[in-house]
């Protein structure tokens, strides 16, 4: 294991006592930083992902410019459908598009579930380069999408508010859905293990659309696959699960192999603690839109949030990704409020 100058994140994940909680922001790399927006004019999205020097530069921007306590590698969850053989386009300003969606047994049979280490080698190179450039300043987070969320994009073909095509598929052809989820799980486990080998100190699994499911369907189509990933990775590195919206699963998650769980702003810190009984590190749950509030209001709300969670077994974060319209000084105020925290 490497020695970090700032290892607050890893301490919090282990449940060790910290002098203050660590802070990072989901989707901190890219989106709102002016240096990133300039790079976007020169290179298209997947070129930025596939060029290790660019991915590393983007990953370091929030560490250097905002002062977060962790770096998250610049990439995307949709590199997995690509590695499985699907075409994924990123339409600037409009989001992802997968022109050939998954519907049939033949579609699933054609998907590749091995070889992530070769097909996604560019992400591994970016991790190794970033690790070197960080030189131990802060830990490096790797990530992947959760099987349910990846299925959503594979079946729907694009973003959705309701994911009704993905859900229609799961409810009509559950056996096919489970085959697909299984294939995604296999390649995701290999991919995350390779990320750890390449330099990731911890990995986060984004189940961004878990909240589209009822508790019963979450326990069928999402939770078993999240737990398999956490169990497979646990011996290699701490795992953070982020099943957005699925607060009802917090007790079960606290008993899984995961070290941390991300929560959104629709659950109070007190209830989240009650459900998890301090058995897992909680991460979250600042409303991303509150970063648009005046700076004194941001600082007041951050202090109140830390008071409610308590500073131990806690990682300060947003309840979902930072939005593109957040002024940099507001993001910095969020981070500074954590660094200035004293109870």
SS3 202: strand
- List the structure tokens of 104: 């049939």
Do the beta carbons of residue 29 and residue 123 sit within 8 Å? no
Q: Which is nearer to ligand CP3, 149 or 299 (CB)?
A: 149
Which position among 8, 70, 77, 177 is part of the footprint of ligand CP3 (CB under 6 A)? Answer: 77
Residue 30 binding ligand CP3, by CB under 6 A: yes
Which position among 78, 184, 205, 315 is part of the footprint of ligand CP3 (CB under 6 A)? Answer: 78
The arrangement of strands across the sheet holding 239-243 comes to: 71-72, 140-145, 202-207, 239-243, 260-262, 281-286, 314-318
Residue 157 binding ligand CP3, by CB under 6 A: no
Q: With CA atoms as reference, report the closest residue to 268 among 309, 215, 312, 302.
A: 309
Q: Which is nearer to ligand CP3, 72 or 108 (CB)?
A: 72
Residue 96 binding ligand CP3, by CB under 6 A: yes
132 burial (CB, 10 Å; 0-12 / 13-18 / 19+) is exposed
SS3 74: coil
Residue 239 binding ligand CP3, by CB under 6 A: no
| Among 8-16, 20-28, 100-108, 109-117, the segment contacting ligand CP3 (CB under 6 A) | 20-28
Helices and strands counted in the chain (H then E): 17, 9
Please give the C-alpha separations between residue 157 and each of 99, 105, 194, 222, 252, in angstroms, as whole numbers: 6, 17, 27, 19, 31
Which position among 32, 143, 221, 225 is part of the footprint of ligand CP3 (CB under 6 A)? Answer: 143
Q: With CA atoms as reference, report the closest residue to 240 among 142, 130, 131, 120.
A: 142
Q: Which is nearer to ligand CP3, 141 or 177 (CB)?
A: 141
| Among 8-16, 26-34, 247-255, 266-274, the segment contacting ligand CP3 (CB under 6 A) | 26-34
Q: Which is nearer to ligand CP3, 173 or 292 (CB)?
A: 292
What minimum distance in Å lies between the beta carbon of 10 and ligand CP3?
18
Residue 311 binding ligand CP3, by CB under 6 A: no
| Chain position carrying tokens 């770096």 | 71
- List the structure tokens of 202: 């911890």
Q: What number of CA atoms fall less than 13 Å from residue 153's CA on the CB side?
A: 27
Which position among 19, 41, 92, 109 is part of the footprint of ligand CP3 (CB under 6 A)? Answer: 92
Contact pattern from residue 40 through residue 59 relative to ligand CP3, giving x for each residue in contact according to CB under 6 A and a dash for the rest: x----x--------------
From the list 20, 36, 50, 153, the catalytic residue is 153
From the list 14, 40, 137, 332, the catalytic residue is 40
Which position among 33, 56, 71, 74 is part of the footprint of ligand CP3 (CB under 6 A)? Answer: 74
**173-232: which residues touch ligand CP3 (CB under 6 A)?**
206, 208
- Residue 153 bears catalytic tag: yes
Please give the C-alpha separations between residue 114 and each of 118, 120, 237, in angstroms, as whole numbers: 9, 11, 21
- Residue 16 bears catalytic tag: no
Omega into 285 within 30° of 0, i.e. cis?
yes
Which position among 76, 156, 264, 336 is part of the footprint of ligand CP3 (CB under 6 A)? Answer: 76
Q: Which residues are catalytic?
A: 27, 31, 40, 76, 153
Q: Which residues bind ligand CP3 (CB under 6 A)?
A: 26-31, 40, 45, 72, 74-78, 90, 92, 95-96, 143, 159, 206, 208, 320-321
């Amino acid at each position: 294991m490497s020695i970090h100058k700032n290892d607050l994140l890893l301490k919090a994940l282990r449940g060790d006592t910290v002098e203050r909680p660590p802070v990072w922001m989901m989707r901190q790399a890219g989106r709102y930083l002016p240096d990133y927006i300039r790079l976007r004019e020169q290179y298209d999205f997947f070129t930025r992902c596939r060029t290790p020097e660019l991915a590393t530069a983007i990953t370091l921007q929030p560490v250097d410019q905002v002062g977060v306590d962790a770096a998250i590698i610049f990439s995307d969850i949709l590199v997995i459908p690509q590695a499985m053989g699907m075409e994924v386009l990123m339409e600037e300003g409009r989001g992802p598009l997968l022109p050939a969606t998954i519907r049939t047994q033949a579609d699933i049979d054609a998907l590749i579930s091995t070889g992530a280490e070769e097909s996604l080698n560019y992400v591994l190179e970016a991790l190794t380069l970033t690790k070197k450039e960080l030189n131990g300043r802060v830990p490096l987070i790797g990530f992947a999408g959760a099987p349910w969320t990846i299925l959503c994009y594979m079946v729907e073909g694009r973003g959705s508010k309701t994911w009704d095509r993905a859900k229609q598929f799961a409810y009509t052809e559950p056996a096919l859905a489970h085959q697909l989820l299984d294939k995604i799980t296999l390649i995701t486990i290999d991919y995350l293990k390779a990320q750890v080998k390449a330099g990731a100190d911890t990995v986060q699994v984004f189940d961004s659309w878990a909240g589209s499911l009822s508790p019963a369907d979450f326990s069928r189509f999402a939770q078993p696959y999240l737990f398999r990933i956490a169990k497979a990775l646990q011996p290699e590195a701490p795992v953070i699960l982020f099943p957005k919206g699925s607060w009802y699963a917090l007790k079960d998650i606290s008993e899984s192999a995961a070290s941390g769980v991300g929560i959104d702003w629709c659950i109070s810190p007190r209830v989240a603690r009650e459900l998890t009984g301090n058995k897992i590190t909680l991460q979250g749950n600042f409303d991303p839109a509150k970063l648009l509030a005046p700076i004194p209001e941001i600082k007041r709300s951050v202090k109140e949030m830390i008071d409610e969670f308590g500073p131990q077994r806690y990682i300060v974060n947003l309840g979902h990704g930072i939005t593109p319209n957040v002024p940099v000084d507001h993001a910095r105020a969020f981070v500074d409020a954590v660094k200035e925290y004293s109870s």
